[in-house]
Amino acid sequence: MEEIIFKSDDLLVMNLINYFITEENYNPMVIHGINDEIWLENLNSDYKIVRIVSHHIHNKEQLDFDKFKLSRIVKQVKKKTLSLKVKVLNIYTDVEDEKLLSDNDVFVTKEADINNPKLTSIFPNIVEKTERKEDGIEYFIKVTDSINKKNEKRSKMAEKIFSYKTPSITYIIMGICVFLFIMMYIFGNGSESTSTLIKFGANYDLLTKSGEYYRLFTCMFLHIGIWHLLCNMYSLYIIGKEIENLYGKSKYLVIYVLSGLCGSILSLAFSHNTISAGASGAIFGLLGALLYFGYYYRTYLGATIRSSIIPVIILNLIIGMLIPGISNSAHIGGLVGGILVSMMVGVPDKSTKIEKTNGLILSIIYICFICYLAFM
């Protein structure tokens, strides 16, 4: 029977990995072609990447090559995660001369070295949380079990967020829009009739500014012509069910209504003697919410944001500029409103109370500002 022997530096690396994954919510990164290095990422941390390097650094030339290799990989990470700046904490466990390292590097050869001012200033609880009584295979089993429990918890949360749920709120909103569209033909002169649109609550600046503020809300469910209805309902079906699935029904409803109101208000600021209606302001708010969600999950959705979400937003704004009769101000108002309201309600499993509070404050400031533009 062979005996498994763990070296002290193996236990040190395991201890550090266990701390960063279970206590600081870092995730392992897969970097192809890299040996004897552990890469961990947490895009919500000041140091987005923690790199534990266990191979031997002989001299300055080898360290310079290591830094060059690091800079190339970080460029790829920036591109993938849409990050302008990625701070990296390098933890070296085997360097010939500690003086070779820069101020941003940490040299740790034994667990006592974890009590390093560079580490404790960034992670104040690292010394306390890396204390251990176990040794060898006993500690290896404990670390493995701890990381597995953390990963299981993450998997359950991811399953809860990304698993399919029936988009009932989206179907209800679509049903209201279609119902009102039909009613305009039954009890009025059709969806393109000015008098009928005003009767059903379209956003008419002269009436809205005179005190009929309900029009800012009701106009979100009215559409002018069958193509306007079909285009918006198709967009709502595609985008709405995704946002409802990712944020949950109550947050989705708040995002839809408030971003739609923001679109209606900003449209009012740039219109004169004009009737406007449609769900496009709210739909742009949902695009903003998707953009905000993707920012937090950009490790997985970075490519989708670059190739799909941003181009769709830009294309629709360009179309709004080129085609007469489209209220681009409603689109912009809804888009910005959707981002800020999403910050206020928070991204599941990501947003902190401080971020939600900031979102609430910014949303209030934004709504007050566009109300000033519209009514003052």
Q: Which of 235, 220, 237, 238 is nearest to 177 (CA)?
A: 220
Contacts of 225 (CB under 8 A, 6+ apart): 191, 192
CA distance 91 to 80: 23
Number of Cβ within a 10 Å radius of residue 61? 9
Q: Are 289 and 339 in contact (CB under 8 A)?
A: yes
Q: State the sign of the Cα–Cα–Cα–Cα dihedral 132, 133, 137, 142.
A: negative
CA distance 347 to 360: 14
Q: What is the DSSP string of 155-178?
A: HHHHHHHHS----HHHHHHHHHHH
- Mapped onto helix, strand or coil, the DSSP state of residue 52 is strand
CA distance 106 to 23: 19
E strands within the chain? 27-28, 37-41, 49-53, 88-92, 105-107, 203-204, 275-276
Pair of tokens at residue 170? 């989206």
Pair of tokens at residue 116? 């390093």
Q: Which of 327, 336, 332 is nearest to 277 (CA)?
A: 327
List 259, 267, 280, 363, catalytic entry? 280
- Name the CA radius of gyration of the chain, rounded: 27
CA distance 147 to 21: 7
List 45, 259, 327, 331, catalytic entry? 331
> 193 an active-site residue?
no
> 280 an active-site residue?
yes
Query: What's the one-letter identity of residue 24?
Result: E
Q: Active-site positions?
A: 280, 331
